[in-house]
Structure 1
Amino acid sequence: MAKSNSKVFYKGHHHDFLVLAESSGQYEKYIHQQNDPKQANTIPISDVIAGQVKIFTTENGRGSEGVLHEASKFELENEFGKGKHVDEIVEHILKEGDLKSGGVNASRKSWSSTNDSHGAGFQS
Protein backbone atom coordinates (compact mmCIF):
# COMPACT_ATOMS: atom_id res chain seq x y z
CA MET A 1 0.00 0.00 0.00
CA ALA A 2 1.31 3.45 -0.86
CA LYS A 3 2.27 5.73 1.97
CA SER A 4 0.24 8.92 2.27
CA ASN A 5 2.08 11.87 3.76
CA SER A 6 0.60 15.05 5.17
CA LYS A 7 1.23 18.62 4.09
CA VAL A 8 1.94 21.52 6.41
CA PHE A 9 0.63 24.63 4.66
CA TYR A 10 1.92 28.13 5.42
CA LYS A 11 0.06 31.12 3.97
CA GLY A 12 2.65 33.80 3.30
CA HIS A 13 2.39 37.44 2.30
CA HIS A 14 3.82 36.90 -1.20
CA HIS A 15 3.73 33.11 -1.69
CA ASP A 16 2.28 30.10 0.08
CA PHE A 17 4.62 27.29 1.09
CA LEU A 18 4.34 23.64 2.03
CA VAL A 19 6.53 21.05 3.66
CA LEU A 20 5.74 17.34 3.56
CA ALA A 21 5.35 15.76 6.98
CA GLU A 22 6.04 12.07 7.58
CA SER A 23 2.64 11.69 9.25
CA SER A 24 0.06 13.79 11.05
CA GLY A 25 0.97 11.95 14.28
CA GLN A 26 4.65 12.94 14.06
CA TYR A 27 3.68 16.52 13.29
CA GLU A 28 1.30 16.68 16.27
CA LYS A 29 4.02 15.28 18.57
CA TYR A 30 6.47 17.89 17.28
CA ILE A 31 4.02 20.77 17.85
CA HIS A 32 3.14 19.47 21.33
CA GLN A 33 6.80 19.27 22.36
CA GLN A 34 7.43 22.79 21.03
CA ASN A 35 4.74 24.08 23.41
CA ASP A 36 6.23 22.26 26.42
CA PRO A 37 9.49 23.87 27.69
CA LYS A 38 10.59 20.59 29.30
CA GLN A 39 10.40 18.74 25.98
CA ALA A 40 11.45 21.51 23.60
CA ASN A 41 13.58 20.27 20.69
CA THR A 42 13.46 16.59 21.68
CA ILE A 43 12.03 15.61 18.29
CA PRO A 44 14.36 16.58 15.44
CA ILE A 45 12.87 18.11 12.30
CA SER A 46 14.25 15.20 10.28
CA ASP A 47 11.80 12.89 12.12
CA VAL A 48 8.87 15.11 11.16
CA ILE A 49 9.72 15.85 7.52
CA ALA A 50 9.13 13.20 4.85
CA GLY A 51 12.35 12.55 2.95
CA GLN A 52 14.76 15.40 2.36
CA VAL A 53 14.19 18.79 3.96
CA LYS A 54 12.56 20.69 1.09
CA ILE A 55 10.10 23.55 0.90
CA PHE A 56 7.50 23.52 -1.85
CA THR A 57 5.13 26.00 -3.45
CA THR A 58 2.47 25.60 -6.12
CA GLU A 59 2.87 26.69 -9.74
CA ASN A 60 0.97 29.93 -9.15
CA GLY A 61 2.40 30.51 -5.66
CA ARG A 62 -0.95 30.41 -3.88
CA GLY A 63 -2.91 27.61 -2.22
CA SER A 64 -2.08 24.09 -1.14
CA GLU A 65 -3.47 22.21 -4.13
CA GLY A 66 -2.00 21.66 -7.55
CA VAL A 67 1.41 20.81 -8.95
CA LEU A 68 4.15 21.37 -6.39
CA HIS A 69 7.67 22.50 -7.16
CA GLU A 70 10.57 23.24 -4.88
CA ALA A 71 10.54 26.88 -3.74
CA SER A 72 13.35 29.00 -5.17
CA LYS A 73 15.90 30.84 -3.05
CA PHE A 74 14.37 34.12 -4.28
CA GLU A 75 10.86 33.11 -3.18
CA LEU A 76 12.13 32.08 0.27
CA GLU A 77 14.21 35.25 0.75
CA ASN A 78 11.32 37.40 -0.43
CA GLU A 79 9.01 35.87 2.18
CA PHE A 80 11.29 35.08 5.12
CA GLY A 81 14.21 37.50 4.66
CA LYS A 82 17.80 37.08 3.52
CA GLY A 83 20.27 34.89 5.34
CA LYS A 84 17.74 32.39 6.74
CA HIS A 85 18.80 28.76 6.63
CA VAL A 86 16.33 26.26 5.17
CA ASP A 87 16.03 24.51 8.56
CA GLU A 88 14.94 27.80 10.18
CA ILE A 89 12.32 28.36 7.51
CA VAL A 90 11.03 24.78 7.80
CA GLU A 91 10.77 25.17 11.57
CA HIS A 92 8.80 28.41 11.07
CA ILE A 93 6.46 26.72 8.58
CA LEU A 94 5.90 23.78 10.95
CA LYS A 95 5.10 26.07 13.90
CA GLU A 96 2.97 28.63 12.04
CA GLY A 97 1.43 26.44 9.34
CA ASP A 98 -1.70 24.32 9.17
CA LEU A 99 -1.75 20.56 8.78
CA LYS A 100 -3.46 19.23 5.67
CA SER A 101 -3.70 15.45 6.19
CA GLY A 102 -3.69 12.89 3.45
CA GLY A 103 -3.16 15.39 0.68
CA VAL A 104 -0.01 13.94 -0.80
CA ASN A 105 0.39 10.50 -2.27
CA ALA A 106 3.25 10.56 -4.72
CA SER A 107 3.11 6.91 -5.75
CA ARG A 108 -0.60 6.68 -6.57
CA LYS A 109 -1.90 7.75 -9.95
CA SER A 110 -5.38 9.14 -9.92
CA TRP A 111 -7.41 10.68 -12.66
CA SER A 112 -10.98 10.77 -13.85
CA SER A 113 -12.44 10.23 -17.25
CA THR A 114 -13.46 13.41 -19.02
CA ASN A 115 -15.61 11.90 -21.74
CA ASP A 116 -17.39 8.73 -20.65
CA SER A 117 -20.30 9.18 -23.04
CA HIS A 118 -18.11 10.27 -25.97
CA GLY A 119 -20.58 13.11 -26.50
CA ALA A 120 -23.98 13.24 -28.16
CA GLY A 121 -24.46 11.14 -31.25
CA PHE A 122 -21.44 8.87 -30.73
CA GLN A 123 -21.76 5.57 -32.58
CA SER A 124 -19.43 2.66 -32.22
Structure 2
Amino acid sequence: MKRKISSLLCVLGMVFSVISCQIPASPQEGEGSDASSQWLAYPETQCADPWGYCNKSGDKTVCVREHLEKLGVDVLAVTVSGSLGDGAVCLACQCASGRIFKVKVNQADVDRVVAIGFKKF
Protein backbone atom coordinates (compact mmCIF):
# COMPACT_ATOMS: atom_id res chain seq x y z
CA MET A 1 0.00 0.00 0.00
CA LYS A 2 2.84 2.39 0.88
CA ARG A 3 4.49 1.62 -2.44
CA LYS A 4 1.29 2.48 -4.39
CA ILE A 5 0.86 5.77 -2.55
CA SER A 6 4.51 6.67 -3.07
CA SER A 7 4.27 5.84 -6.77
CA LEU A 8 1.09 7.88 -7.16
CA LEU A 9 2.65 10.90 -5.42
CA CYS A 10 5.74 10.63 -7.61
CA VAL A 11 3.68 10.52 -10.81
CA LEU A 12 1.49 13.43 -9.68
CA GLY A 13 4.60 15.45 -8.85
CA MET A 14 6.02 14.89 -12.33
CA VAL A 15 2.71 15.79 -13.99
CA PHE A 16 2.40 19.03 -12.01
CA SER A 17 6.03 19.90 -12.77
CA VAL A 18 5.41 19.62 -16.51
CA ILE A 19 2.16 21.58 -16.35
CA SER A 20 3.59 24.39 -14.22
CA CYS A 21 6.50 24.99 -16.63
CA GLN A 22 4.27 26.03 -19.51
CA ILE A 23 4.34 29.80 -19.98
CA PRO A 24 1.40 31.21 -21.93
CA ALA A 25 2.16 33.69 -24.72
CA SER A 26 0.85 37.24 -24.78
CA PRO A 27 -0.01 39.05 -28.05
CA GLN A 28 2.78 41.62 -27.69
CA GLU A 29 5.54 38.99 -27.64
CA GLY A 30 5.44 38.33 -31.37
CA GLU A 31 5.74 42.01 -32.26
CA GLY A 32 9.14 43.41 -33.11
CA SER A 33 11.13 40.28 -32.35
CA ASP A 34 14.62 40.14 -33.80
CA ALA A 35 17.97 38.47 -33.17
CA SER A 36 19.18 41.35 -30.97
CA SER A 37 16.48 40.90 -28.28
CA GLN A 38 15.01 38.11 -26.14
CA TRP A 39 11.78 37.60 -24.17
CA LEU A 40 12.21 36.20 -20.64
CA ALA A 41 9.56 35.18 -18.09
CA TYR A 42 9.31 35.28 -14.30
CA PRO A 43 6.46 33.62 -12.36
CA GLU A 44 5.43 36.15 -9.71
CA THR A 45 5.56 34.90 -6.12
CA GLN A 46 3.36 35.90 -3.20
CA CYS A 47 6.09 38.08 -1.65
CA ALA A 48 9.59 36.87 -2.63
CA ASP A 49 10.16 38.70 -5.92
CA PRO A 50 13.59 40.27 -6.58
CA TRP A 51 12.05 43.78 -6.87
CA GLY A 52 10.51 43.54 -3.38
CA TYR A 53 7.23 45.09 -2.28
CA CYS A 54 5.55 47.21 -4.96
CA ASN A 55 2.83 49.79 -4.37
CA LYS A 56 2.93 51.60 -7.72
CA SER A 57 -0.85 52.05 -8.04
CA GLY A 58 -1.39 48.36 -8.70
CA ASP A 59 0.88 48.22 -11.76
CA LYS A 60 3.76 45.95 -10.82
CA THR A 61 5.16 46.12 -14.35
CA VAL A 62 6.52 49.55 -13.34
CA CYS A 63 8.39 47.97 -10.41
CA VAL A 64 9.77 45.19 -12.63
CA ARG A 65 11.02 47.73 -15.18
CA GLU A 66 12.55 49.98 -12.48
CA HIS A 67 14.31 47.06 -10.78
CA LEU A 68 15.85 45.81 -14.02
CA GLU A 69 16.92 49.33 -15.02
CA LYS A 70 18.64 49.74 -11.61
CA LEU A 71 20.64 46.63 -12.53
CA GLY A 72 21.71 48.29 -15.78
CA VAL A 73 19.36 46.32 -18.03
CA ASP A 74 17.83 48.06 -21.05
CA VAL A 75 14.16 46.98 -20.86
CA LEU A 76 12.39 47.09 -24.22
CA ALA A 77 8.95 45.85 -23.05
CA VAL A 78 7.18 44.44 -19.99
CA THR A 79 3.94 42.42 -20.01
CA VAL A 80 2.02 40.43 -17.44
CA SER A 81 -0.29 37.46 -18.04
CA GLY A 82 -2.44 35.26 -15.84
CA SER A 83 -4.36 36.46 -12.83
CA LEU A 84 -3.95 36.39 -9.08
CA GLY A 85 -5.19 33.22 -7.47
CA ASP A 86 -4.99 30.96 -10.54
CA GLY A 87 -4.19 27.37 -9.61
CA ALA A 88 -3.59 25.84 -6.20
CA VAL A 89 -3.88 27.92 -3.04
CA CYS A 90 -0.57 28.62 -1.35
CA LEU A 91 0.14 31.80 0.57
CA ALA A 92 3.79 31.21 1.49
CA CYS A 93 6.19 33.86 0.16
CA GLN A 94 7.88 31.56 -2.35
CA CYS A 95 4.58 30.24 -3.80
CA ALA A 96 3.50 31.42 -7.24
CA SER A 97 0.72 34.01 -7.39
CA GLY A 98 -0.60 32.88 -10.79
CA ARG A 99 0.79 35.82 -12.78
CA ILE A 100 3.82 35.74 -15.08
CA PHE A 101 5.90 38.81 -15.85
CA LYS A 102 7.57 38.82 -19.26
CA VAL A 103 10.31 41.22 -20.26
CA LYS A 104 11.94 41.88 -23.60
CA VAL A 105 15.60 42.84 -23.22
CA ASN A 106 18.63 43.23 -25.44
CA GLN A 107 20.56 40.02 -26.05
CA ALA A 108 23.54 41.51 -24.17
CA ASP A 109 21.43 41.78 -20.97
CA VAL A 110 19.95 38.26 -21.01
CA ASP A 111 22.49 36.70 -18.62
CA ARG A 112 21.97 39.47 -16.06
CA VAL A 113 18.19 38.99 -16.12
CA VAL A 114 18.44 35.18 -15.96
CA ALA A 115 20.68 35.54 -12.90
CA ILE A 116 17.81 37.07 -10.88
CA GLY A 117 15.33 34.30 -11.74
CA PHE A 118 13.87 35.01 -15.17
CA LYS A 119 13.73 32.11 -17.65
CA LYS A 120 14.14 31.98 -21.43
CA PHE A 121 11.15 30.67 -23.36
Q: What is the TM-score with the length of structure 2 in the denominator?
A: 0.23
